[in-house]
Amino acid sequence: MQVVLGVDLGTSAVKVSAVDQAGKIVAQQSKEYPLSQPEPGYSEQNPEDWVMGTTVAIKRLIEVDKIKPTDIKGISYSGQMHGLVLLDDHHQVLRPAILWNDTRTTQQCKEILDVMGKDFIKITRNVPLEGFTLPKLLWVKEHEPQIFEEAATFLLPKDYVRYRMTGKIAMEYSDAAGTVMLDEENRKWSSQIAEAFQLPMEIFPPLIESIGFAGKISETYASFSGLSTDTQVFGGAADNAAGAIGAGILNTNQVLSSIGTSGVVLKYEDNAKVDYQGALHFFNHAIPNKYYTMGVTLAAGYSLSWFKKRFSNDNSFTNFVNAAKKSTVGANGLLFTPYIVGERTPYPDGDIRGSFIGIDGTHRKEDFTRAVLEGIVFSFRDIMRIFAEKGSNFDTVVSIGGGAKSALWLQIQADIFNKKVVTLKNEQGPGLGAAMIAAVGVGWFGSLNECAERFVAYDQTYLPNAQNVKKYDELYNLYKKVYGQTAEISHGLMNYRREML
């Protein structure tokens, strides 16, 4: 039985899936690793933990699940984005990796715009944010100059793991886009950005396609892991790009609605002609010469889990959500904005805070629950509104994550979006996308679209209810006003809290 491995390198754990030619996951192993937060706002990991975790998971597939090394034909990756791994000229790690959720680089983000202004957004198609890689590199340059001087190259998390497995340095396009050092349209490192911030071009690694051949398993890693040196390795993709592939987001008429701790709305883009001017993240896709746009709600599922933990902790999650059926469309006149940890899209505002608007003495707990469910979806519609304003149309929303586990929440999505919403039969996310990249790489399929026809299957379909659509349109017009009306108060309260601390 031939299989490929999809390595899903997350922030808290790595999960490795063995997938056969029919798209069935025949075995799966995972390994957790620690996160270090040495100072407030810092988030770091030891890259060696990623390598060890991946290796342990692979060895378990071989030893526990009896996957024969000679049957593993290809390996590819999905990786947590933006993390900075600095290597010296012997390819040794110089310092712990600075991760995507590290927020120490506010000053560097300001510096980027002060130096380059709109030229930066024109080149990268993105506004510099603390999570991206360039601000982290500039932080090291300023605060750890000796380490920066020793740096011969940099990699992102999954690219480092791939290097350790093959011995070859490279970075693939979808992850490289998230460094905000890539000239998006011309698909090359930006010499203009490098010159503006005095970064030597020599530190930028070679670029490869996501489905590009990256090498074979090295003899060193084969002896370490039990893998065969005949196993082919392919570039892989950033987690959101791999997740989009695993959900079948491979056409311009499709949008991904992903509700996890944060929320992601992701749209396939056929070319680089559409320009959101930094209002959305715009990245290279894992499909050669294709792109995707993405907006983020920082506290999507987190808003719901926060509300449940505080006010309904003794209830099961299913019963807690289903109780919202006792409420009505619009939660009996109650609106919730999910800005409880700040917001990203369309309001890049770390100090905005959430709110319930319209509370009166008749509201019950189920009204509040429904308002939270609706408010999260309204925040996604805020992102989709940017697509509409640029004439970027779609007709199908693929829902994954927590939002796909409740029929009520799925119908709310269909009604608020006024779009068809579909679910997946076997939701495996970025790990499946990584396996699909490997399946195309080894030649099982001619393209990722062809692979998706075999590997990705849709399940339930939810169509918008015309009466509910009309009601939600009216409520959304009110929802859009809340940010502007509450921002000044939120900022004042956050300043007050800082003073008290």
**Residues identified as active-site:** 239
Question: What Rg do the C-alpha atoms of the chain give, in angstroms?
Answer: 23
Look-up of token digits 């982290």: 136
Burial class (CB in 10 A: 0-12, 13-18, 19+), 202: exposed
CA distance 465 to 459: 19
Instruction: Check the CA dihedral 38-113-131-295 and report its sign.
Output: positive
Query: How far is the CA of 120 from the CAs of 92, 137, 192, 201, 253, in angstroms?
Result: 31, 16, 9, 17, 29
Distance of CA 167 to the CA centre of its chain: 27
Q: Give helix then strand counts, H and E, for the chain.
A: 17, 24
Residue that the structure tokens 């990203």 belong to: 344
Helix/strand/coil percentages in the chain, nearest 5: 40, 20, 35
221, β-bridge pairs: none
For 6-16, give one letter per residue: b (16+ CB within 10 A) or e.
bbbbbeeebbb
From residue 155, give the alpha-carbon distance in Å to each of 28, 84, 85, 91, 109. 26, 6, 5, 10, 20
Distance separating alpha carbons of residues 131 and 134, to the nearest angstrom: 9
Instruction: With beta carbons less than 8 A apart as the criterion, state whether 286 and 448 touch.
Output: yes
CA 327 to chain centre: 32
- Structure tokens belonging to residue 308: 């449940």
Instruction: Give the amino acid at 176.
Output: A
Spatial separation of the C-alpha atoms in residues 29 and 37, rounded to whole Å = 27
CB 201 within 8 A of CB 178: no
Angular region, 278: left φ>0, alpha ψ -120 to 50, beta rest: left
Measured distance CA(29)–CA(54) in Å, rounded: 9
* Residues 6 or more apart in contact with residue 153 via CB below 8 angstroms: 87, 91, 169, 202, 203, 204, 205
d(CA 501, CA 498): 5
Take residue 316 and report the two structure tokens written for it: 């099961």
**For residue 74, what are the β-bridge partners?**
4, 232
What tokens appear for 248 in the block?
A: 């079948």
The span from the CA of 136 to the CA of 128, in Å, is 11
